[in-house]
Structure 1
Amino acid sequence: MTRTHWASIAAVVLALLFAGGAVTVASAQREEAPRTPVSGSADAGFARDMAVHHQQAVEMSFIVRDRTTDEDVRRLAYDIANTQANQRGMMLGWLDLWGLPKTESGTEPMAWMGMGGHGDTGPLDGALMPGMATKTELRKLREASGKEAEILYLQLMTDHHKGGVHMAQGCVEKCSVDVERNLAQGMVEAQESEMGLMAELLRQRGAKPRA
């Protein structure tokens, strides 16, 4: 064989050896991936708490759907209900996959963030976490109709999104599971965008977000 042929063969052998090494490194990296989250982890805490938070957003969206005929508000409510119901299913599914309970007795909401519900005051009229509507506010939403219902829904959902964004940012900082952290970042971006839309819808109705 010529020197050129030997050089070509050597190049192929080196490429195969490099590929084999790359596979070995990739396998080692997979083996060193984080283990299944434990019950007290930020990953589990976020999944539990955000599932509860999302459930109320879905509930409020279904309420306003039946209290107004305005297409803009009904469309927003549908989008929020659909998106958050799907995300809630994902988070509960992760808890099942990790073999962890969906609720944990004796643990305050948002304890994984160094918080506990509403802090020292405890839950306020059924609102388990900051941003969540109280029982009184939900009752008012059910009793309202038309423009009044639209404004109250947009104000309550703006508050709700603020609380959700704060919690999702906590997961971006503390969660260790990549897919969950990516979902949390997506929540931050989507809900901040929706807050801008809700502010505009409130302006069109002569109102604004609550302080």
Structure 2
Amino acid sequence: MLADRTTRVVLVAGGALSAGLLLVLGVLLGLHWGPARDVPAAGSVDAGFALDMQAHHRQAVEMSSLVLDRTDDEAVRTLARDIQLTQQQQAGQMYGWLEQWGLGQGRTEPVMGWMVGADVAGGVAGHHTAEVPADGLGSVAAMPGMASDAQMAALAAADGEGAERLYLQLMATHHVAGVEMAQVAAAEASDPQVRHLAGAMARGQRSELTVLRDLLAERGGPVEGV
């Protein structure tokens, strides 16, 4: 049973590189050394996506780090390492873009303002979470899919199968919103690098959603009241 579950999880990095090395690699990949071209402005889809998805990814990395310390289940650990390493590298790439564009990491636009009016074709499996008010969101914590402080505290306090179930549940919700954000950037960003990475994110997280939901179902489903 364990072997069957584990084979459904695909390692992107194969565990060969540390998260720190992947972050450095991501920053280098985000720096484009080719011919000069127009760069995205602060209020663009490209810049908003790079800034907001970094924050989204940081929480996914944190959740994955927490569950890795709280379970010995190899299927969950393999998936968590995959998410941790992949999203660490992608966050580094987006960081590098913002530096290359001369925008830095400071925020000048409302959170998720670039998603206002976005049409994500019904979201993931009918779960549409990307509706954003015209003036954006007040904080990163309010972004769709983000786990609350109470949920993160509950994950930090859990252990064993309880930690596995909570992690899988929270990460599935996180991925639904992440896919919707990536779909918009893949369709509307001006920079081809941004569109390419966003498309890869959407495909990768859709695939991981299947694994997350299967593993959660095998462990009794969502944790009530969370």
Q: TM-score, normalised by structure 1?
A: 0.77
- The letter of the residue matching 2:199 is Q
Aligned twin of 1:76? 79
Cα gap change, 1:209 to 1:99, in 2 (>3 Å): farther
1:184 aligned to which of 172, 193, 198 = 198
Whether the 8 Å contact between 1:73 and 1:150 is mirrored in structure 2 is yes
Cα gap change, 1:192 to 1:158, in 2 (>3 Å): same
**Structure 1 segments unaligned to the other structure (5+ residues):** 1-29
Q: Report the Cα offset of residue 34 of structure 1.
A: 5.5
1:109 aligned to which of 82, 103, 111 = 111
Cα gap change, 1:117 to 1:88, in 2 (>3 Å): farther
Whether the 8 Å contact between 1:110 and 1:129 is mirrored in structure 2 is yes
Whether the 8 Å contact between 2:113 and 2:137 is mirrored in structure 1 is no
Aligned twin of 1:193? 207
Tell me which protein shows more helix as a share of its residues.
1
Percent of aligned positions that are identical = 46
Q: Residues 79-158 of structure 1 correspond to what in structure 2 (within 5 A)?
A: 79-105=82-108, 107-114=109-116, 119=133, 127-158=141-172
Cα gap change, 1:183 to 1:109, in 2 (>3 Å): same
Cα gap change, 1:122 to 1:37, in 2 (>3 Å): closer
Give yes or no for the alignment of 1:63 onto 2:66.
yes
Q: Distance in 1 between matches of 2:46 and 2:112?
A: 11
Q: Secondary structure, in 3 states, of the residue corresponding to 2:83? A: helix
- The letter of the residue matching 1:194 is E
Structure with higher Rg: it is 1
**Structure 2 segments unaligned to the other structure (5+ residues):** 1-33, 118-129
Cα gap change, 1:110 to 1:122, in 2 (>3 Å): closer
Q: Report the Cα offset of residue 127 of structure 1.
A: 2.4
Q: Secondary structure, in 3 states, of the residue corresponding to 1:104? A: coil
Q: How many residues align?
A: 178
Aligned twin of 1:21? none
Q: Distance in 1 between matches of 2:182 and 2:148?
A: 21
Aligned twin of 1:23? none
Q: CA RMSD in A?
A: 2.5
Cα gap change, 1:46 to 1:83, in 2 (>3 Å): same
Q: Report the Cα offset of residue 208 of structure 1.
A: 4.8
Aligned twin of 1:54? 57
Q: Distance in 2 between matches of 1:204 and 1:122?
A: 36
